[in-house]
Structure 1
Amino acid sequence: MNKRYMLPADADEVKRSELNHRMIQFLLAGANYVGPVKNIISVNSAKSDILDMGTGGGNWAMDIADEFEGRVEVIGVDLAPVQPRDVPANCTFELCDLDQYDIPYPDGCFDVVHARCMHHGIKNYPRFLLEVSRMLCPGGIFIIIEPDTDPIINGEFWTDIWRSGRETRVPGWVALWRLYHICLQGKGIDLAAPKRLRNMLQKTGGFAKVVTQQADAPIGFWPQDDTQLTIGQQSWMQNDLLLPGTLPLLLSTSGQPREKVIDMVKAAQHDLYHSRDKLATRFHVVHARKVYPKV
């Protein structure tokens, strides 16, 4: 069990991590990154150094190591040791707590830093971004992809629906994510961090050329478009694994009886399996360049 992030460090979590990686690839039209990554790597006479923060099952790190074989060295870091042993020669994995003041890598040592789905485990997100800025070399690129904490129902954020007093046809889904919000807030997590990435990056003073995009990932089998349907299927499978994976956090933080929490997860699963509404998740996709020092 990953006690810091309250997610299981088991086979299901590794599978969910891979599903999430493949789903984001489809969201990015088959790419593993946004921004001028190829240009940054191509101008380096030596090998480029890449850091994958919160690497999970290591899928992104291994894909990048394969794509730029012979031109990059990739380090994937995570708190849980769930990465495979059979990896490309230019890819290594290390254990590291990323929610700390001094992440143990030197200043300016990476050309590319990549992170995704981090905010649920980072209590001080501005400080985290300052650490990223410190570790990036001038001109290097930071890529961050964060899911919004507000699931979407029929094109609207569920928090807007709930505040308006309207009903949905997925009450179990809404109730579970509302409790999840409460638990994250109880851990000191900034729920608005994904929406505020541009502002927070600019406030560090260490980044320029901040580019933000949004991509909505359907959940389930309702899309008519083939690509969106594939994303929906992967997202559905990922959420099917995620729902029981939330139990440790909900049980330890919500103050609710165990039986009630288990029933809430089951109700959310029922809504996932038999949804009559169109469910989705919004991803905030951001990249920025490390500024050059003033002379």
Structure 2
Amino acid sequence: MAERPESSAHPQAAAIEVDDGDSFVEPDNASSTASLTSSVLKYRKLYGRTYHNFNPSDVEYWAPNDDKQNDGLDLNHQMLLILNDNKLYRSPIGPNPQRALDVGTGTGIWAIDFADENPSAEVIGTDVSPIQPSWVPPNVKFELDNAQMIPWPYPDDHFDIVHLRLMIGSISDWPAVYSEILRCLKPGGWVEHTEYDCDVTSDDGSQPKDAAMARWGPLFREAGEKIGQPFDLARGQKLYNWMKDAGFVNVKEHPFKLPLGPWPADPKMKDVGNYNLATTDQGLEGYAVYLFTKVLGWSLEETHVYLAKARKELRNKAYHTYFAA
């Protein structure tokens, strides 16, 4: 997170203690859109999944927008609430914010919760897919928009907080986006951005080097390079440096680890691991199928063989793996 006009420390997330017990949960696999044109609502289809149709020649967003993928997004929201002790945000925005913007709002769940928690605020959620519910708090609205279309349709010095998360692979020019966020924030306003590293790793070497999930991060970074929209936002302090370069102050990093499965000994992290396993398993095909087949050139059969191996590994209780963020 960062404040509009410093911190030099770059903390590292602590190691997670392993629970040697048998606890394990099997993943379960089982608005303002009234004026949209019919073409936007006719989603593109690929291998039985649906994708946005918002300027498809100009916007390459790789994840599906169907119910299966969206259920995973809502699971992810709950996971982050547990991780952050039921707090929607860390930024010290004060008790009566007036305006908030949720960029890449997805199902709109963060924007809706923020609006409920802050009735003083007018909340806007933007996305390239009109998948948000129509029954929402009166102080929230959703807009179809692509964050890369700059300038944004908001005045200078407008928002108390701009929130982003899980935007990997969706933006080609992050410095330009951060400069636009700075313009739209009030002096003293905050931007808060949460991203994961695509790498699946373990601190104790429990994941074999030749594991399918050990290839997950490298494959996504390769795909991101091909489409010109990076997936490595959580690596090398990229977000920190882009915020600083844009002119933000009080830039703070909060690194954490998201275990894949209930292997941690700590009860809270065990819950986080269960949710992370569920949301990862729910979204695994959706994450991979477009990028692997249309960008990396894999066949659908190759993709499914890889995903079958990946799912088997996700269920292996001996692998103490995690995503870093």
Q: Same fold (TM over 0.5)?
A: yes
Code of the aligned partner of 1:247 = V
Identity of aligned residues (%): 29
Spell out the pairing of 1:81-92 with structure 2 (5 A cutoff). Answer: 81-92=130-141
Spell out the pairing of 1:177-192 with structure 2 (5 A cutoff). Answer: 177-192=217-232
Structure 1 or 2: more strand by fraction: 1
Q: Which residue of 2 aligns with 1:217?
A: 258
Code of the aligned partner of 1:182 = E
Code of the aligned partner of 1:244 = E
Code of the aligned partner of 2:151 = D
CA apart distance, 1:113: 0.7
CA apart distance, 1:36: 0.5
CA apart distance, 1:73: 0.8
How many residues matched?
266
Code of the aligned partner of 2:86 = G
Code of the aligned partner of 1:235 = N
Match of 2:289 among 243, 247, 250: 247
The 3-state SS of whatever aligns with 2:229 is: coil
CA apart distance, 1:275: 4.7
Code of the aligned partner of 1:224 = A
TM-score of the two chains, using structure 2 as the length reference: 0.77
Taking the aligned partners of 1:192 and 1:273, their CA distance within structure 2 comes to 25
Taking the aligned partners of 2:225 and 2:276, their CA distance within structure 1 comes to 24
TM-score of the two chains, using structure 1 as the length reference: 0.85
Q: Which residue of 2 aligns with 1:290?
A: none
Q: Residues 191 and 56 from structure 1, CA distance in 2 versus in 1: closer, same or farther, beyond 3 angstroms?
A: closer
Taking the aligned partners of 1:155 and 1:141, their CA distance within structure 2 comes to 37
Structure 2 residue 148 is the aligned partner of structure 1 residue 99:
yes
The answer for unaligned runs of 5 or more in structure 2 is 1-50
Code of the aligned partner of 1:73 = E
Taking the aligned partners of 1:275 and 1:196, their CA distance within structure 2 comes to 33
Match of 1:30 among 86, 91, 98: 86
Spell out the pairing of 1:152-191 with structure 2 (5 A cutoff). Answer: 152-154=201-203, 168=208, 171-191=211-231
Taking the aligned partners of 2:217 and 2:84, their CA distance within structure 1 comes to 26
Q: Which residue of 1 aligns with 2:44?
A: none
Structure 2 residue 116 is the aligned partner of structure 1 residue 66:
yes
Spell out the pairing of 1:194-273 with structure 2 (5 A cutoff). Answer: 194=234, 195-205=237-247, 207-245=248-286, 246-273=288-315
The answer for unaligned runs of 5 or more in structure 1 is 162-166, 284-295
Taking the aligned partners of 1:151 and 1:172, their CA distance within structure 2 comes to 10
Q: Is the 8 A contact 1:170 1:275 kept in 2?
A: no
Structure 2 residue 318 is the aligned partner of structure 1 residue 279:
no
CA apart distance, 1:237: 0.6
Q: Residues 120 and 183 from structure 1, CA distance in 2 versus in 1: closer, same or farther, beyond 3 angstroms?
A: same
Q: Which residue of 2 aligns with 1:11?
A: 67
Deviating runs (4+, > 3 A) in structure 1? none
Code of the aligned partner of 2:65 = A
CA apart distance, 1:176: 3.7
The 3-state SS of whatever aligns with 1:119 is: coil
